[in-house]
């Protein structure tokens, strides 16, 4: 069973390098495209994806680099620095929830801009988008403040852990509800409503908008279910069994399972940036133009806007 620990460390190390590479590359490319093309910056849905990419880039940089340093090189400042012990967990909690929230808001915006109701479409505007984004950031940063109070280094083992029993009960609840359950419901419900709106609007059908909405919704749901829900389930299991005496064999198996689950969770933040690329042909063309430096000779029109009362998200495929 000793080899199981070795395998877990190897998975953490090599998958960590791989996820860090694709995450920095993908999120970096998204940020470059979204910032360099004005139309993307001024469309609520793509603005939410821009924020997601920035947050995901920060998240994987903090979590994966520190994990690689700890496993691969034996350097873990959470064991020696009380400030980093608290600060790292604060970033993990706040950045992940803000990112998931922005992803949900993008799906809600797709429903708003495809609605036949002009009053609903008015809610899809950049002024409101900026406000909602700022409010979301403030709320989730406040939500993560207890980390600074209840996170500490245990002197006997030099490990950074939660020291409050009540907060330990709350952690799996928010992971299952806020981090997994509610986002899945929002994406499914508003993705379906956006799809239904498109099926009722001929101009959107002519632009094959239903295909892009379907692709984006399916990809979002699959990413959340495959890469995030297992983490919520494992956190709940860990909380329930935290006071149970466990054998060395069971602890080793749980450690191995936690490594696999944490790796899957990292896939969400490293790989979700490719969702827009998969679902939008115009976006793929813009990315290809940047990579090949073809913009000067072959001008790429990143998206064709469909206007129904107000400018809305591109739905070309």
Better-predicted residue by pLDDT, 247 or 93: 93
Higher local confidence (pLDDT), 177 or 128: 128
pLDDT at 62: 93
Closest CA to 232 of 285, 286, 179: 179
Predicted confidence at residue 217, as pLDDT, reads 66
pLDDT at 278 over 90: no
For the chain, percent of residues with pLDDT exceeding 90: 27
Task: Supply the pLDDT for residue 232.
Answer: 79
* Sequence ranges of the domains in the chain: 2-311
> What HEC string does the chain produce?
CHHHHHHHHHHHHHHHHHHHHHHHHHHHHHHHHHHHCHHHHCCHHHHHHHHHHHHHHHHHHHHHHHHHHHHHHCCCHHHCCHHHHHHHHHHHHHHHHHHHHHHHHHHHHHHHHCCCCHHHHCCCCHHHHHHHHHHHHHHHHHHCCHHHHHEEEECCCCEEEECCHHHHHHHHHHHHHHHHHHHHHHHHHHHHHHHHHHHCCHHHHHCCHHHHHHHHHHHHHHHHHHHCHHHHHHHHHHHHCCCCCCCHHHHHHHHHHHHHHHHHHHHHHHHHHHHHHHHCHHHHHHHHHHHHCCCCCCCCCCCCCCEECEECCCCCC
Instruction: Measure Cα distances from 218 to 12, 113, 179, 258 in Å.
Output: 28, 19, 18, 26
How many whole angstroms separate alpha carbon 34 and alpha carbon 266? 23
CB 204 within 8 A of CB 125: no
Residue 308's Cβ-count burial label (10 Å; 0-12, 13-18, 19+) is middle
pLDDT at 115: 84
pLDDT, mean of residues 113-128: 88
Q: Per residue in 156-190, is it b (16+ CB within 10 Å) or e — as a string?
A: eeeebebeeeeebeebbebbbebbbeebbebbbeb
pLDDT per residue as tens digits for the range 18-66: 999 999 988 988 888 888 877 777 888 889 988 999 999 999 999 999 9
User: In the predicted model, what is the mean pLDDT of residues 218-244?
Assistant: 78
- At 198-225, the pLDDT tens digits run 777 755 555 555 456 566 667 777 787 7
- Tokens 């429903």, residue located: 111
pLDDT at 250: 85
150 phi and psi, to 5 degrees? -100, 0
C-alpha closest to that of 137 among 177, 84, 180, 99: 99
Q: Which of 120-134, 147-161, 232-246 has the lowest mean pLDDT?
A: 232-246
Q: Which range among 4-18, 125-139, 285-299 has the greatest average pLDDT?
A: 125-139
Q: How many CB atoms lie within 10 A of CB 246?
A: 12
Phi first, then psi, for residue 301 (nearest 5°) are -85, 105
Judged against a pLDDT cut of 60, whether residue 297 lies above it is answered with no
Q: How many CA atoms lie within 13 A of 3 on its CB side?
A: 0
Q: Does residue 309 register a pLDDT over 50?
A: no
Percentage of the chain beyond pLDDT 70 is 84
Task: Indicate the CATH number for domain 2-311.
Answer: 1.20.1070.10
Q: pTM higher than 0.75 for the full model?
A: yes
């Amino acid at each position: 069973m000793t080899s199981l620990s070795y395998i877990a460390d190897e998975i953490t190390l090599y998958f960590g390098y791989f996820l860090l590479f694709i995450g920095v590359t993908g999120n970096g490319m998204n940020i470059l495209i979204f910032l360099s093309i004005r139309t993307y910056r001024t469309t609520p849905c793509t603005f939410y994806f821009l924020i997601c990419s920035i947050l995901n880039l920060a998240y994987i940089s903090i979590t994966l680099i520190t994990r690689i340093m700890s496993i691969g090189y034996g350097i873990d400042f959470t064991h020696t620095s009380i400030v980093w012990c608290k600060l790292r967990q604060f970033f993990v909690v706040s950045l992940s929830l803000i990112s998931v929230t922005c992803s949900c808001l993008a799906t809600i915006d797709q429903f708003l801009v495809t609605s036949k109701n002009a009053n609903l479409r008015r809610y899809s505007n950049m002024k409101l988008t900026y406000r909602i984004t700022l409010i979301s950031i403030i709320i989730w940063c406040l939500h993560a403040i207890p980390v600074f109070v209840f996170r500490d280094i245990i002197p006997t083992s030099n490990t950074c852990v939660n020291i409050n029993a009540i907060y330990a009960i709350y952690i799996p609840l928010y992971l299952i509800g806020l981090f997994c359950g509610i986002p899945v419901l929002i994406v499914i419900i508003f993705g379906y409503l956006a799809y239904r709106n498109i099926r009722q609007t001929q101009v959107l059908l002519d632009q094959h908008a239903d295909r892009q909405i379907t692709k984006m919704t399916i990809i979002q749901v699959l990413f959340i279910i495959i890469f995030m829900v297992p983490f919520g389930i494992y956190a709940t299991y860990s909380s329930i069994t935290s006071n149970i005496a466990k054998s060395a064999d069971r602890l080793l198996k749980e450690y191995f399972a936690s490594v696999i689950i944490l790796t899957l969770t990292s896939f969400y933040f490293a790989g979700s940036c490719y969702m827009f690329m998969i679902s939008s042909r115009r976006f793929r063309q813009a990315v290809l133009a940047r990579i090949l430096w073809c913009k000067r000779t072959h001008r790429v029109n990143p998206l064709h806007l469909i206007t129904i009362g107000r400018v809305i998200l591109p739905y070309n495929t």
